[in-house]
Amino acid sequence: MSRFADRSGPIRLGMVGGGSGAFIGAVHRIAARLDGRFALVAGALSSTPERAQASGSEVGLAEDRIYHDYKAMAQREARLKDGIEAVAVVTPNHLHFPVAREFLKRGIHVICDKPLTATMAEARKMARMVEASETLFVLTHNYTGYPLVRQARQMVARGDLGRLRVAQVEYPQDWMTDPAALTTKQGEWRDDPARSGAGGATGDIGTHAFNLLRFVTGQQVEALSADLQSFGPGRRLDDNAHVLLRLADGARGMLWCSQVAPGHENGLRLRVFGDKGGLDWSQENPNRLMHTPVGAPTCIQTRAGPETETAGFTRLPPGHPEGFLEAFANLYDKTADAIVARRTGDTAPPDVPGIADGLEGMAFVAACIRSSERNAAWVPL
């Protein structure tokens, strides 16, 4: 459905988590309203009643739609005639499963931040719930929403690169270089296995890198060899990881993720090489995709290029930058298409990450930990 097609009104959205001071909650709210497809009407934005009330008022929620408990929110909203149709789950990882479960079992669509859950056991339970339900489940691997990431996937799929040989993805950040990062709101729960899960950097940003590689190449990863480190003093979870990958069709891959790499703010980069050419894309310069055919000069693919898949993923004319928020908004826009379609009985899945991607991400983290504990031994994924 076109972004500018007629619709029957915005989708009523709720949110759990993402109160005052939370980074990703605000990103979800901006992305959801960017195209006018969603209206935030209810929320349990904090587990603390006072903060939940203040946060709800701050974002303009009606007094009777501000909740202090997500279970009470799910129960009441499911009964209301104008109750929410979808909920965004933007809590720490350990709450993803119990929160999503309450809404899924009441037929409310779920848009969940990554990683899927804190444990593999919870991930499998979530997958069974989604499979048994007609409810939509979307995982916000937002980097798949970039127009030129979609273009790269199209080019690989139609054979522009030939048979794939090598795929390299990296995601370096520097914000946890300082030991004091663990005392911040964003840092303290990410180093707590009970709230973050078993993976540190691997779960937080490694899953993004892994998903991006899988999304663009279209290839399964059969096995990996991982070397995980915790460089920060006193840290319980990894803050750096080097991972070798064996892809299904014989290609080889490398993944590096780090949160202790000074000079890198959000350096997600993907390079894919085949026997006919290579592609190079960087999240910090997302409106250019470098394509090098074998024996020819490197060319710059932009959103204005011929035969592109970018038209349904852009809001501005070519040459005007689009980035992180717009990529996030693309996932919300395609999710809105799917929710509107389900109002008429169409259950076709949207072209956005979902429960299968979440399971793959959890399996990736678990395999990295198993491999690293065995001195980087190769383990099946």
Give residue 130's Cα distance to chain centre: 18
CB burial string 4-40: b at 16+ within 10 A, e below: eeeeeebbbbbbbbbbeebebbebbbebbbbbebbeb
CB 108 within 8 A of CB 87: yes
Mean pLDDT for the chain overall:
93
Q: How far apart are CA 284 and CA 97, in angstroms?
A: 32
Whether 64 has a pLDDT exceeding 60, the answer reads yes
Q: pLDDT tier at 320 (50, 70, 90 boundaries)?
A: low
The CATH architecture that domain 11-143+328-354 belongs to is: 3-Layer(aba) Sandwich (3.40)
Q: What pLDDT is stored for residue 348 in this prediction?
A: 87
Q: pLDDT tier at 8 (50, 70, 90 boundaries)?
A: low
Q: How far apart are CA 172 and CA 125, in angstroms?
A: 32
Structure tokens at 236: 């319980």
Please tell me the pTM assigned to this model: 0.90
Q: How far apart are CA 208 and CA 295, in angstroms?
A: 32
Largest CA distance in the chain: 65
Q: How far apart are CA 259 and CA 72, in angstroms?
A: 37
Average pLDDT over residues 248-253: 96
Whether 260 has a pLDDT exceeding 60, the answer reads yes
Strand partners, 224: 245, 379
Other CB atoms within a 10 A radius of the CB of residue 234 amount to 8
- Any idea where the domains of the chain sit in the sequence? 11-143+328-354, 147-317+360-380
Structure tokens at 68: 């202090």
CB 316 within 8 A of CB 327: no
CA distances from 339 to 13, 77, 168, 346 (A): 11, 17, 35, 9
Average pLDDT over residues 273-278: 98
Whether 3 has a pLDDT exceeding 60, the answer reads no
pLDDT one-digit tens code per residue, 197-250: 999 999 999 999 999 999 999 999 999 999 999 999 989 999 999 999 999 999
Give the contacts of 344 (CB within 8 A, at least 6 positions apart).
none
Residue appearing with tokens 């290609």? 251
Q: How far apart are CA 19 and CA 22, in angstroms?
A: 6
Other CB atoms within a 10 A radius of the CB of residue 348 amount to 9
Whether 103 has a pLDDT exceeding 50, the answer reads yes
Q: How far apart are CA 180 and CA 102, in angstroms?
A: 36
Whether 309 has a pLDDT exceeding 80, the answer reads no
**DSSP string across 128-169:** HHHHHS---EEE--GGGGSHHHHHHHHHHHTTTT-SEEEEEE
Structure tokens at 81: 């005639």
Which CATH number applies to 147-317+360-380?
3.30.360.10
Whether 7 has a pLDDT exceeding 70, the answer reads no
How many residues in total does the chain contain? 381
Q: How far apart are CA 259 and CA 206, in angstroms?
A: 10
Give residue 354's Cα distance to chain centre: 9
CB burial string 44-72: b at 16+ within 10 A, e below: bbbeeeeebbebbeebebeeebbbbebee
Strand 221-229 versus strand 277-282 pairing type? unpaired
